[in-house]
Structure 1
């Protein structure tokens, strides 16, 4: 989860929605967030689609860890 906060604007990190809501956002939805420009929106989409992140999320779900 630490990596996620490195990419989120402070306003988003303070009251973070659930993982699935964040992971399913498209670039336009990220652009609607204050402080998120095109580059950051693309970074966020890449982060949520990254193979290693998806593997970690899958493991957390398998272990029934809340939030994933």
Structure 2
């Protein structure tokens, strides 16, 4: 999320599972309200995406593999 509110996503994300895409979208939308990673930011993120913990675990395990695509 840029300072002017533009959301940008890597094309490589098409390879991620849908619940991870939901989390990434929620994470960026939460930044529209909170331009930080404060407790308020995480509260919004979890409200928008209850599978936040699962998605973050997936990204930790497999996210770097997305950068090796194409």
Which TM-score bucket, shorter chain as reference?
0.3 to 0.5
Higher relative contact order (CA closer than 8 Å, sequence separation 6+): 2
